[in-house]
Structure formats: C-alpha cells, structure tokens
A and B are shown apart, each in its own frame.
Chain A
Amino acid sequence: MAVFWQDPITFLRLWLENLLLSWGVPADWALVIRFAVGAVLLVTAALLLVILQLWLERKLIGRIQDRLGPNRVGPWGLLQPIADVLKIFTKEHITPAGADRIPFNLAPVLSVAAALMVWAVIPFSATVFGADLNVGILYLLAVGALGELAIILAGWGSNNKYALLGALRTVAQLISYSVPMTLSALVPVMFSGSLHLSVITRAQEVWFIVLAPVPALIFLTASVAEVGRAPFDLPEAESELVAGYSVEYSGLKFGFFYVAEFLKAFTVSLIFAVLFLGGWRGPGAESYPVLGFVYLMLKSGIVYLLMILFRGTLPRFRIDQVMDLNWKVLTPLALILLMVIALADYFLRGTLPLVRILGLLCINGLAYLVLDRVLSSRERLRRRLVAQPVRPVARPENLITSSDVGGRS
C-alpha cells in the first residue's frame, strides 16, 4: 500500500478503486470510471496550468521589455488571467458571412484537444502515467499533426484570404519542421531501444542531452517552430497577415486558440524534458515518486523559461528564412548526425560509460562544426552575391558611418 506523502496520486487511485469495488461496481466499470476521473483531472489541471503560464509569460516579457507587466488584479497581478478569461467568456461570437460553419466551429476545439491529448502518454513519475503506449513517440508525433489539421480547418472555414494564406503558410512551416523533429526524436529511441516513454525515461542513466547535444538542439529548435512561437511566429505575423488563421475568430473561440498556443508551448517543453532531460529521474525519485513529478515539472519549466527568453529577445524570421533554416540546415544536419551517431555508438557500445559519453560528445561537436562550416560558407557566398550591386539608399546623410550607402563600408 502506497503511503500518501510518498505517492499521493497512487494512494488516491487505490483508494478510489477500493471505494468503487466496495460499492459493488463491477471491476471493468470501476476501471472505466477510474480512467474517466483521471482524464478529467489531468485535462483540468493542464488547462489551469495555462492560467499560471499566461501570467508568468506576460510578467516576464514585460520585465524583458522594461515594463511592469500585469500588476493591478490581485497580488503581483496574479489574478489578471482569471479576469481575462471571465471577460472573454462573455464576448460575442461573430461568425463571418459565408463561413463554412462546421470547420469554423470545429477548429478551436480540435486545436485544444490536440495539445491536450499529448498529456495522456507523458510519464509524470515512476508510478503515475496515463497510458504507457508501446508506440509512445509515434503517438506524440501523430497527435502533434492534429494541431496542423485544426489550423487548416480554421483558415479554410473563415472565408477570408488572410486567414487562408496564414493557415497555408503555417501548415507549410509546421510540416517542414516536423521532419527534423522526427529525425532527432529517433536518437533517444536508438539509445533506449524502445518507443515506450517510460522505458526511454528509465534508460537515461545519463541524460540523452549529454550523449546527443546536437540532436537535442535540433529538437528544441524544431519544437519552438512547431508551436509557432517567436521567433517562428509567422502564423500570427500581425504586421503581414493581420492575425493569420485566427483573424475571424472572436470570443471564447479565439480564446481557445490562445490557450492552445500556450498549452502547446508547455507540452513541447514536457516532451523535451522526457526525451532528453531524463523525465522524472533525479535523486530519490524511485522511492518517492512525488519527487519525480517535481523534477519533471522543474525540468520542463526551465525549458519553458528558455522559450520565453527566445520570444523576448529574438526578432521574427521571414518565411523564406524559416524554410531555409529547416530544409538547408536542420534537415541535412539531423540526417547526417543520425548516420554518424549510429556508427559511432556501435563502436563505443562495449567501452566504459565515460569513454562512450566523451566519444559521443566529441563526435557531436565535430559533426556540428564541419556541417556548420559547409552550410554557412554557402550562405555567405549567396549573401555576397545579393549584396554585390551597390544600391543607393534613400536616407539622410549619416554622420556616424563612413560609407555613402550606409553601414560601415
């Protein structure tokens, strides 16, 4: 029997199970009820987490931009997101004339559902997980693709050119970035020999980010692009496409797109923590599963803070830069690293763990440096060709620079 303060979730689960059986509920139905209760609790917890996230992100972005951020409602503005949710709940739902109603109304629901469904397979601690699928990673990638479907439904259903254009661009970006994402997700599978997320977590005696830092970096970049956050926030490039696919949405329907975006951001942090940062592993996590949960949340929280930092500090890419980064840098890099790691790990398999770690680190660094050299030399050549004809720039004389076309000659 689990002790409450060691593993509260398992304790409550067993309590609920015994309670249902003592009421005379058949064992099969008891299971269904237990699953349903678990699913409702997990979904609610994930949606409540978004409220905290909204506050944290607005506050931090505010501080980065030398503002205070929300500070009126509640202590430190903590209740601001709740006020916002209440406000958006009572706003009118406008359906534009000529909209295709079924996709238009289905899209926000599907968008949130796609982000939530990932949570069903995440192992939160040694004993607490929703479903330990034998195709865990494939499930993650497949459910991630549902979000793209929601975006194209929203763009198509809105009967708006901006929305359709935004949706197509977004989908082009998302499907492109899922290629390097899938390829770098193969590396944890190779090291652990399983698609079970729990087995991948348990296999990380050494975190996979140490064994494969470059695939981890590719995965992180691709997942930032996959959730459409800055600097990859082309889906809602206000200055070009008004608001992309969500331009015709209002009220809670728009609110759910917003929620889905934040939820996805935390979800990919969670996936990154499970695949590369050792999931719930940490000192004492085996005997005290509740500690494992704390470790997982801390790790994914750190990844999430990193994503807020990206958003606060990096300017937005152009669409052709986004596509170039994916197809001409990340995809070749991921493919070649996969080959190199597969060969290197075969020869390092029998050696001491420390030798293996150092060997893989060196191989990663070397492969990255060589590829970066090759790829960036091409890029430099292209830029020089573009910059060759000197075009006069219409601007007043700049006293600080020496060149007559601006810039430092």
Chain B
Amino acid sequence: MLNAWLYIGLFTLVAAALPAIAIFLAGLLAPKKPNPIKNATYECGVETVGPAWTQLRVQYYLFALAFLIFDVESVLLFPWAVAYQQLPLFAIVEAVIFLAILVGGLFYAWRKGALNWQ
C-alpha cells in the first residue's frame, strides 16, 4: 500500500515538473519586449477603472454552501456504499432516510429561492 502512495507522489512530481520545465524553456526562447501598453489589463480596449479585486456577489457563496452540504454528505455515503452488498435491510433503509432528509433540504433551499441564479 505504501508503494502505491510512493508512485502517486512520484507521479505528482513528474506531472507538475514537466509543464513547469516546458514553460521555463519556452520563457528562455520567447522574445521579451514588454511595454506599458502591452502589459496593460485587457478589457477590449477600454481603460480599466478601479482595482480588479472587487467585492463579489453573495450568490457564489450560496452555491458554495449548498455544495459543501452535499459534498460532506457524499463523503459520509461512501463507506455505506462500500459495505452495501453485505448490509441488512435495516441499514439500507437508514441510508434511504438519510438521503430523504437531504432531498427535503434541497427542496427547502429550492422553495426559498436559494438555487435561483439572479
């Protein structure tokens, strides 16, 4: 098992190093002639007003919260799914109730309008 993770570690290193080296080499080959106009922020020719790092709409955070709930829930379901073939009916019904509560939560968020993109 440790060997598998050793392979994953080596693979991650190689997978990150190959593009990094390629970009470095291309950076050596490429011409370097910066000027203020070329380096200006691109907004289709219009001059930029104010900083780019502005405040953002709360909408994104609402979806992030909904995602978080379902992500945590699916992590809880994976052990159940692995054991599913040996489980008695009782445990399966329990998981179904768990899922039903989540469906209820989803419909609640839906009715409250949290899932509408404005």
Residue A328 interfacial (CB < 8 Å): yes
Q: Which DSSP category, helix, strand, loop or mixed, fits chain B's interface?
A: helix
The answer to whether B77 and A130 touch across the interface, beta carbons within 8 angstroms, is no
In the complex, are the beta carbons of B78 and A138 less than 8 A apart? Answer: yes
For A195, list chain B residues within 8 Å (CB): 78, 82
A263: min CB distance to chain B, Å: 10
Does A95 lie within 8 Å of B99, measured CB to CB? no
* B45 to A: closest C-beta gap in Å: 11
Q: Chain A contacts of B108 at CB under 8 A?
A: none
Task: Chain A residues near B102: list those with CB within 8 A.
Answer: 335
Contact A42 B11 (CB under 8 A): yes
Residues of A within 8 A of B23 (CB): 93, 105, 108-109, 252-253, 256
Can you give 29 contacting A-B residue pairs, CB < 8 Å?
A35-B6, A36-B14, A39-B11, A39-B13, A39-B14, A47-B18, A90-B26, A94-B34, A96-B42, A97-B41, A108-B19, A109-B23, A112-B19, A113-B16, A120-B7, A131-B4, A156-B53, A161-B52, A164-B54, A175-B67, A190-B85, A193-B84, A242-B44, A323-B63, A327-B110, A331-B70, A336-B103, A342-B96, A346-B89
Q: With A120-B11, A320-B116 given, can you name 15 additional A-B contacts, CB distance below 8 Å?
A: A42-B11, A95-B34, A130-B8, A137-B78, A156-B53, A159-B53, A164-B53, A168-B56, A189-B78, A195-B78, A242-B44, A248-B42, A252-B23, A324-B117, A338-B99
**B residues touching A (Cβ–Cβ < 8 Å)?**
1, 3-8, 10-16, 18-20, 22-23, 26-27, 29-34, 36, 38-44, 48, 51-54, 56, 59-60, 63-64, 66-67, 70-71, 74-75, 77-78, 81-87, 89, 92-93, 95-96, 99-100, 102-103, 106-107, 110, 115-117
The residues of A with any CB-CB pair to B shorter than 8 Å are 31-32, 35-36, 38-40, 42-44, 47, 89-98, 105, 108-110, 112-113, 116-117, 119-121, 130-134, 137-139, 156, 158-164, 168, 171-172, 175-176, 178-179, 182-183, 186, 189-190, 193-195, 242, 247-248, 251-253, 256, 319-320, 323-324, 327-328, 331-332, 335-336, 338-339, 342-343, 346, 349
